[in-house]
């Protein structure tokens, strides 16, 4: 990437359908801006996020991955976010071990009523990724040009 | 290979102002699988849906992507449109380019680029979609209403009048809720009990309504149309069938020092009690923490005096398990605790009271028999100061950020009632704003000012200081005259913020219904689905959803009933076909998936499997589609990668990831 061009990170956000996706919708209808670098993938529950999806994202050149779900105790399926939390804690420490800094991965609880939280979380996450710069680990070099 | 049509919506200017829709159409035309792409002003309109149908027919489409508003808004609309045109409804995917794109970005180039990427992800997904067929489940024709305030009573009556069985679960010994504690009600000043009691009686007498008081919901399982609920009937220690409601036990009970919840702690009640005279049912309960028989083993007076032999010290809690098709939450509210508001001296002086306490003071059946008097010395007050917005509209976390909505009106009511009955009492109200939107509401407030001479001062109170002579010094500001005010008062009444009943968190968790940051239950859509929770089959009635007065509560209670009736009137419901599906060749029968499934949807069967020519009996997972809710927990847990989720398969999600990171 040429140094004079502004770094545009690729960020994948997995949002559960019941809380966080709706929170993102609320951020939208409330016109609470966050950078266009964030692209959301809708999943039924945070527990649907397979570690494989996150590895794949980094492999394909993502600079950050965030998983958003309902607050503890509020998961639409009661316990899904507890599974997600445990799995991600394990995955993230493993990712850090192979050089993907902890700042590039995040789990955040955002309810359907928290449009503001969704927007501030994304602004904050993008800023963090920008400060970390481009992700060079795990990436298949052919994916970035 | 699919034949995909992409339909890009302008949404008037909502999308088109920030996303170059023509450019999106041009770019996605070249995506793999896409054979058709077009844009239109309003895709959700009849004309827009007709465009989709036409393209499906003419171009033989096997899948479609609509780039539009959130799928939470119109996924169902476009699925139905596709189905009418002969396409399987699950061959439709939505790219959310409004809420997640045009509405949050300003730069047209950036927004257009993002819209293209979101469209690509949806196209990549549809390429892997497979037709799905929704199953059917039956509907239990019985409704549960949690909370027996005016909201719950009204909802239950409406559902029962439509011919369906309804159970009300109320945690206190009587139905009635807060309204039973009120004296008179704005904007007409009719007496609360006079309009509430007939409704309570009607509910109790209704052949389709069963009321469980002194009871709580303990466990909820199942889903829309088929919930199973455990209700704990707490031991009343009085046999409901035998008790005649004579009240002798309450009179003779020697333990009379428990603060009365109904009177907000102003005045006491006995250990065996009904909360108020018109309680329904009119059967007392024994508060075992206060009862001498339970505490010391001695006493037993009530059993001796009860002619009907209704007292039963051995009674135990009972669990009733019942099935319901619909659940309505009507758990109401309480006023906030004032521990964070020391400046008002609520905990220091008996003469500083909340508005709800004033309702009890003004009530003929209340602790002062309806006489306005200071609770410290019983003297008749000459100066009363009301302070509005105590804990409401608060910018820090001491109080609540929202407007409690009812306080302006009930304060005007209190001021007017006091001036009417005691013209010698001066009434001053400190307010930030007076908010009276509502039919006949502003007229009501103006009467308080113009006809009753209530002194309204715009400004906040900084401190209420109890004086040695027993009076209260109120220090405030008058913002309109821009001056400090010191006022000596005999009583101060705090219009205290309301908050959802604290038990609502537990209820929301059991029902997997969402609540907002203030613990009010969230509606499915703020404007279009205001009485439905995002959880199918769960409806919202009354203040549990947001602050409301009685007329609004009753209107919403009726609306919630209509939604519940609409559900109960159906014989069958279509189930979500996005369920888990094991690949029997890969499954090793390890049980990991069954262990994480919250619905017990996974069982195991020994089956003859043909694994590339090797035929052998293997234990493999089976998913019960009627039970699976499609969370996906099992798919990630499965160590063999055998379990996948239809509609959100591993390959589909990876295709989306790839499209985004491309
Ligand atoms: C001081 C004051 C004065 C007011 N004056 C007026 C007035 O003049 N005019 C007017 O229109 N409105 C007035 N209101 C507003 C009125 O009280 C409410 O609009 C009304 O009570 C709301 O009814 P509800 O059924 O939603 O809630 P509630 O009345 O709070 O009823 C909720 C019921 O649910 C029960 N419950 C709670 N949690 C559970 C649980 N987990 N399980 C089982 N049961 C549960 C509670 O015990 C209660 O019986 C006033 C309010 C206050 C505070
Ligand atoms: S046993 Fe005695 S103390 Fe207990 S409720 Fe009966 S009368 Fe009251
Ligand atoms: S998707 Fe969820 S509900 Fe369905 S079988 Fe798997 S764990 Fe159970
Ligand atoms: S549904 Fe939101 S985390 Fe499970």
> Across the interface, do A44 and B645 touch by the CB < 8 Å criterion?
yes
Q: For ligand 2, is residue B302 a contact (CB within 6 Å)? A: yes
B596–chain A Cβ distance below 8 A for any pair: yes
Its sign, for the CA torsion B562, B565, B569, B575, is: positive
Residues of B in contact with A80 (CB under 8 A): 598, 631-633
Best residue in A44, A57, A111, A115 for a mutation probing chain B (most B CBs within 10 Å): A44
What pLDDT score does A1 carry? 47
User: Above 80 in pLDDT, residue A142?
Assistant: no
What SS3 state is found at B513? coil
What SS3 state is found at B14? coil
**What tokens does B229 get?**
């609920």
B654–chain A Cβ distance below 8 A for any pair: yes
> Looking at residue B336, what DSSP letter applies?
P
Of A32, A60, A70, the CB nearest to B104: A32
What pLDDT score does A3 carry? 52
pLDDT band of residue A143 (cuts 50, 70, 90) is: low
Of B99, B515, B662, the CB nearest to A28: B99
The ranges assigned to domains in chain B are 4-126, 142-234+317-332+501-568, 248-305, 334-499, 580-646
User: Above 90 in pLDDT, residue A6?
Assistant: no
Q: Could you tell me how many residues make up chain B?
A: 662
What pLDDT score does A80 carry? 95
**Ramachandran category for residue B314: left, alpha or beta (phi over 0 → left; psi -120 to 50 → alpha):** alpha
What pLDDT score does B221 carry? 87
Max alpha carbon distance in chain A (Å)? 48
What pLDDT score does A145 carry? 45
What pLDDT score does B193 carry? 95
Best residue in B121, B503, B632 for a mutation probing chain A (most A CBs within 10 Å): B632
* Closest CA to ligand 1's atom 12: B549
Catalogue all structural domains in chain A, each as residue range(s) with its CATH number: 11-133 (3.40.50)
What pLDDT score does A138 carry? 76
Q: Which residues pair with B247 in a beta bridge?
A: none
What pLDDT score does B448 carry? 96
Report d(CA B223, CA A107) in Å as an integer.
28
- Give backbone dihedrals phi and psi of B631, rounded to 5 degrees, phi first: -75, -35
Beta strands in B112-164 (DSSP E): 136-138, 142-146
The fold of B142-234+317-332+501-568 is FAD/NAD(P)-binding domain (3.50.50)
> Across the interface, do A28 and B103 touch by the CB < 8 Å criterion?
yes
On whether the CB atoms of residues B605 and B620 are closer than 8 A, the answer is yes
Q: Tell me yes or no: is domain B580-646 CATH 3.30.70.3270.
A: yes
**What tokens does A113 get?**
């009523």
Mind telling me how many Å the CA of B637 is from chain A's nearest CA? 9
On whether the CB atoms of residues B436 and B445 are closer than 8 A, the answer is yes
The fold of B4-126 is Rossmann fold (3.40.50)
Considering only alpha carbons, which residue of chain A is nearest residue B639?
A50
89-148 in chain B: CB under 8 A from chain A: 96, 98-101, 103-107, 110-111, 113-114, 117-118, 121
What pLDDT score does B375 carry? 96
Residues of B in contact with A145 (CB under 8 A): none
Q: For ligand 4, is residue A81 a contact (CB within 6 Å)? A: yes
B334-499 CATH: 3.50.50.60
Nearest of A17, A67, A41, A69 to residue B576 by alpha carbon: A17
Its sign, for the CA torsion B154, B563, B545, B555, is: negative
> Across the interface, do B98 and A112 touch by the CB < 8 Å criterion?
no
**Ligand closest in space to the Cα of B363:** 1
**In chain B, % of residues over pLDDT 90:** 94
Q: What is the mean pLDDT of chain A?
A: 91
Beta strands in B21-151 (DSSP E): 34-40, 63-68, 92-96, 136-138, 142-146
On whether the CB atoms of residues B521 and B514 are closer than 8 A, the answer is yes
Check if B142-234+317-332+501-568 and B334-499 are the same fold: yes
On whether the CB atoms of residues B217 and B331 are closer than 8 A, the answer is no
What pLDDT score does B514 carry? 83
Choose between B169 and A4: higher pLDDT: B169
Report d(CA A49, CA A43) in Å as an integer.
7
| Distance from chain centroid for Cα B259 | 30
Q: What is the mean pLDDT of residues A32-56?
A: 97
**What tokens does B194 get?**
């006079």
What SS3 state is found at B188? coil
**What tokens does B342 get?**
């020391």
What pLDDT score does B516 carry? 87
Residues of A in contact with B653 (CB under 8 A): 41, 43, 48, 50, 53
Which segments in chain B show pLDDT lower than 50? none
Report d(CA B628, CA B308) in Å as an integer.
51
546-585 in chain B: CB under 8 A from chain A: 578
The pTM score is: 0.88
B527–chain A Cβ distance below 8 A for any pair: no
Summarize pLDDT for B352-395 with one digit per residue, the tens. Answer: 999 999 999 999 999 999 999 999 999 999 999 999 999 999 99
Instruction: Give, to the nearest 10 degrees, the angle between helix B650-661 and helix A51-59.
Output: 30
**What tokens does B611 get?**
């694994």
Of B71, B631, B656, the CB nearest to A77: B631
User: Above 60 in pLDDT, residue A10?
Assistant: yes
Q: For ligand 3, is residue B599 a contact (CB within 6 Å)? A: yes
Residues of A in contact with B633 (CB under 8 A): 45, 47-48, 77, 79-80, 83
> Looking at residue B529, what DSSP letter applies?
B
What pLDDT score does B526 carry? 85
Residues of A in contact with B126 (CB under 8 A): none
């Amino acid at each position: 990437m040429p140094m004079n061009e502004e770094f545009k990170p690729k960020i994948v956000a997995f949002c559960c359908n019941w809380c966080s996706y709706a929170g993102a919708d609320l951020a939208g209808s409330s016109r609470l801006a966050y950078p266009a670098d964030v692209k959301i993938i809708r999943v039924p529950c945070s527990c649907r996020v397979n570690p494989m999806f996150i590895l794949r994202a980094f492999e394909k050149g993502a600079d950050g991955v965030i998983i958003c779900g309902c607050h503890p105790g509020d998961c639409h399926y009661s316990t899904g976010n507890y599974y997600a939390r445990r799995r991600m804690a394990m995955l993230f420490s493993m990712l850090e071990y192979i050089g993907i800094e902890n700042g590039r991965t995040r789990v955040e609880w955002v309810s359907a009523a928290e449009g503001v939280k969704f927007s501030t979380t994304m602004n904050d996450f993008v800023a963090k990724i920008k400060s970390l710069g481009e992700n060079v680990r795990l990436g298949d070099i052919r994916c970035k040009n | 290979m699919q034949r995909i049509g992409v339909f890009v919506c302008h949404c008037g200017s909502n999308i088109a102002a920030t996303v170059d829709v023509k450019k999106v159409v041009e770019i996605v035309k070249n995506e793999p699988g896409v054979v058709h792409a077009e844009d239109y002003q309003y895709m959700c309109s009849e004309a827009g849906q007709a465009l989709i149908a036409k393209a499906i027919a003419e171009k033989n489409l096997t899948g479609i992507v609509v780039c539009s508003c959130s799928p939470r808004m119109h996924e169902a609309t476009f699925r139905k449109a596709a189905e009418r045109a002969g396409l399987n409804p699950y061959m439709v995917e939505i790219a959310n380019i409004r809420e997640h794109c045009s509405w949050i970005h300003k730069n047209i180039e950036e927004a257009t680029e993002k819209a293209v990427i979101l469209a690509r992800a949806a196209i990549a997904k549809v390429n892997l979609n497979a037709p799905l067929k929704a199953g059917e489940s039956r509907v239990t024709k019985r409704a549960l209403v949690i909370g027996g305030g005016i909201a719950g009573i009204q909802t239950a009556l409406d559902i029962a009048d439509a011919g369906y069985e309804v159970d009300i679960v109320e945690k206190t010994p009587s139905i009635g809720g807060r309204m039973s504690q009120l004296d008179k009600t704005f904007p007409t000043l009719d007496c609360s009990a006079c309009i509430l009691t007939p409704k309570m009686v009607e509910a109790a007498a209704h052949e389709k309504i069963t009321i469980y008081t002194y009871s709580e919901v303990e466990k909820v399982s199942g889903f829309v149309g088929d919930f199973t609920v455990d209700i704990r009937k707490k031991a009343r220690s009085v046999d409901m069938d035998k008790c005649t409601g004579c009240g002798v036990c309450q009179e003779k009970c020697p333990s009379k020092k428990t603060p009365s919840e109904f009177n907000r702690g102003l005045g006491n009640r006995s250990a065996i009690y009904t909360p108020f005279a018109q309680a329904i049912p009119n059967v007392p309960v024994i508060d075992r923490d206060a009862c001498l028989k339970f505490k010391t083993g001695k006493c037993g007076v009530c059993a001796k005096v009860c002619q009907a032999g209704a007292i039963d010290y051995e009674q135990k809690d009972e669990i009733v398990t019942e099935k319901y098709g619909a659940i309505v939450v009507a758990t109401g509210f309480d006023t906030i605790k004032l521990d964070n508001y020391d400046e008002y001296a609520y905990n220091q002086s008996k003469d500083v009271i909340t508005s709800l306490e004033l309702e009890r003071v003004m009530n003929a059946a209340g602790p002062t028999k309806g006489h306005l008097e200071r609770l410290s010395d019983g003297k008749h007050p000459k100066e009363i100061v009301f302070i509005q917005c105590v804990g409401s509209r608060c910018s820090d976390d001491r109080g609540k950020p929202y407007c409690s909505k009812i306080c302006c009106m009930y304060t005007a009511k209190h001021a007017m009632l006091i001036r009417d009955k005691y013209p010698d009492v001066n009434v001053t109200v400190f307010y930030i704003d007076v908010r009276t939107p509502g039919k006949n509401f502003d007229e009501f407030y103006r009467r308080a000012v113009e006809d009753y001479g209530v002194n309204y001062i715009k400004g906040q109170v900084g401190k209420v200081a109890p004086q040695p002579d027993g009076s209260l010094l109120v220090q405030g500001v008058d913002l309109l005259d821009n001056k400090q005010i010191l006022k000596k008062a005999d009583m101060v009444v705090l219009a205290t913020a309301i908050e959802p009943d604290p038990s609502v968190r537990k209820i929301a968790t059991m029902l997997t219904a969402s609540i907002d940051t203030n613990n009010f239950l969230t509606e499915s859509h703020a404007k279009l689905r205001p009485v439905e929770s995002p959880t199918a089959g769960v409806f919202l009635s009354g203040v549990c959803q947001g602050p409301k007065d009685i007329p609004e509560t009753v209107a919403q209670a009726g609306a919630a009933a209509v939604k519940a009736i609409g559900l109960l009137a159906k014989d069958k419901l279509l189930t979500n076909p996005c369920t888990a599906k094991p690949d029997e060749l890969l499954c090793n029968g390890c049980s990991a998936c069954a262990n994480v499934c919250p619905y017990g949807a996974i069982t195991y069967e020994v089956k003859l499997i043909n694994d590339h020519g090797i035929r052998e009996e293997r234990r493999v997972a089976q998913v019960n589609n009627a039970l699976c809710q499609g969370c996906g927990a099992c798919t990630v847990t499965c160590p063999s990668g055998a379990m996948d989720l239809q509609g959100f398969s591993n390959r589909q999600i990876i295709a989306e990831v790839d499209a985004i990171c491309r």
